[in-house]
Amino acid sequence: MRQPTDQPADDLLAAPLPGPLLRLPRPVRTLGPTAVVLLVLVPLAAHDPDFGPTGSPPTNAALMAFGALALAFRRRFPAATAAATLLSGQLPLAVALYGLTARRGATLLLYVLAVLSEVRLFVPFDLGDVSTPTALANLIEDPLVFGAVPLALGLTAHQRARTVSVLAERNRLLVEARRHAEERAVAAERARLAREMHDVVSNRVSLITLHAGAGQVAQADDPAAVRETLGLIRALGLQALTELRGLLGVLTPASDQAPSLRGLPTLVEESRQAGLAVGLTVTGPDDGLPAPGPKVQYAAYRIVQEALTNAHKHAPAAEVAVTVAVEPDGLRLAVVNSPAEPADPDDAGPGLPSGGHGLDGMRTRADDLGGTLHAGPTPEGGFAVRARLPLTVA
């Protein structure tokens, strides 16, 4: 389950990227420049012979009106609009250059139109009259203000749009990756919880079943044996409930309550009481070697528990040797049973069910800690489970 402290990070990832502080309605942005040119600049060009590319006020007014109408199509045809406004006034040309650059970025067509625009903005001036700073400033004023500045602003807007697009896509990928990571974590936690419950239920319920079978064949005139069997069943049931409560309560038992190597003698004794001949040998750690960590001891306990459960199911009449040794290269454990002897048909009851996941669960426990586990038949005809676990894990 996602923790509340992660909510601000999720909101940050899901929040849209900021746009312009002021965004006019689309019709205003589309037709605004056209209206300004028609209402303001066309009348000025009609009365001022210097306000346009030619010396004829009517011609300048007509070209200015043509450029204003062309601006209405600059969003759909930016390059054609820029080419058309080359014949118009400075302001329509500047708006068209900005629109083309903001939408297309730096392209070969833009370079060509930029050169033509600069040449067009130089046309009304006498290039030979640059003897004074004022004349030079007047010469470069229009190419700079109506040519270079719109191009620079357009390139900046285009780059910002690309950056916003890339960040938005990266934002989407991060949200998707986080969602997939959470789904994988939930699936892994479900698998881990299922493995824990399998080990607890399989071992305890198997022993309860075996003791219940023994109670069925107990002599009616031996009430002490019946009481002992019922007491064992009750104790095993309480242990199963206690472990299941821990798993369902916090998903992971507390480190001071989790099964460990200290619980192996009790685990082995329970199997003996259920009729399985089990021997236990625990050695180490020697001087200078650290004791196995809680996670390692917990995994070792569960592996031995599952191996004994398998022995109850598949070789109930065999002898089983459990060996645990703390060595420099890690914790080594082995659960080896002798060849299974045929069961007495008269005593045989329903076999213990097998889910088929015990060996996979043991291997997963070892792999999760960086260890190894091998399980298979022995040359003598028995079965062996051998594992090596690191002494400590992060």
What is the C-alpha separation between 246 and 387, in angstroms, rounded?
Answer: 26
- CA geometry: angle 88, 94, 98, nearest 5 deg: 135
What is the C-alpha separation between 104 and 78, in angstroms, rounded?
Answer: 9
What are the pLDDT tens digits along the chain (394 aa)? 444 444 444 544 545 545 555 566 777 777 877 888 788 778 887 877 767 677 778 887 888 888 888 888 888 888 888 888 888 878 888 888 888 888 888 888 888 888 888 877 776 544 455 555 665 566 667 777 787 888 889 888 888 888 888 988 998 899 889 888 888 888 887 777 777 777 766 667 777 777 676 666 665 567 777 777 777 777 777 777 777 666 665 454 444 567 889 989 988 988 888 888 999 999 988 777 888 988 899 899 989 988 998 888 888 888 999 999 999 889 999 999 998 776 555 544 445 555 556 788 889 889 989 999 999 999 999 999 999 999 888 6
**Residue-level pLDDT at 279:** 93
DSSP string, 227-285: HHHHHHHHHHHHHHHHHHHHHHHHSS--TTTS--GGGHHHHHHHHHHTT-EEEEEEE-P
SS3 51: coil
**Residue-level pLDDT at 5:** 45
**Residue-level pLDDT at 15:** 52
Bond into 294 cis (ω within 30): no
What is the C-alpha separation between 157 and 147, in angstroms, rounded?
Answer: 16
**Residue-level pLDDT at 252:** 47
User: What's the token pair of residue 289?
Assistant: 């070697």
Q: Are 303 and 385 in contact (CB under 8 A)?
A: yes
**Residue-level pLDDT at 250:** 47
Nearest to 373 by CA among 383, 356, 385, 361: 385
Q: Report the DSSP pairing between strands 372-377 and 383-389.
A: antiparallel
Alpha-carbon dihedral angle through residues 198, 200, 204, 209, given to the nearest 10 degrees: -20
What sign has the CA pseudo-torsion 10, 15, 18, 21? negative
- CA–centroid distance for 226 within its chain: 56
**Residue-level pLDDT at 264:** 92
| Count of CA atoms in the C-beta half-sphere (13 A) of 305 | 29
SS3 319: strand
User: What's the token pair of residue 56?
Assistant: 């004829």
Helix (H) or strand (E) holding 192: helix 149-217
**Residue-level pLDDT at 131:** 58
3-state helix, strand, coil in the chain (%, to 5): 60, 10, 30
**Residue-level pLDDT at 253:** 46
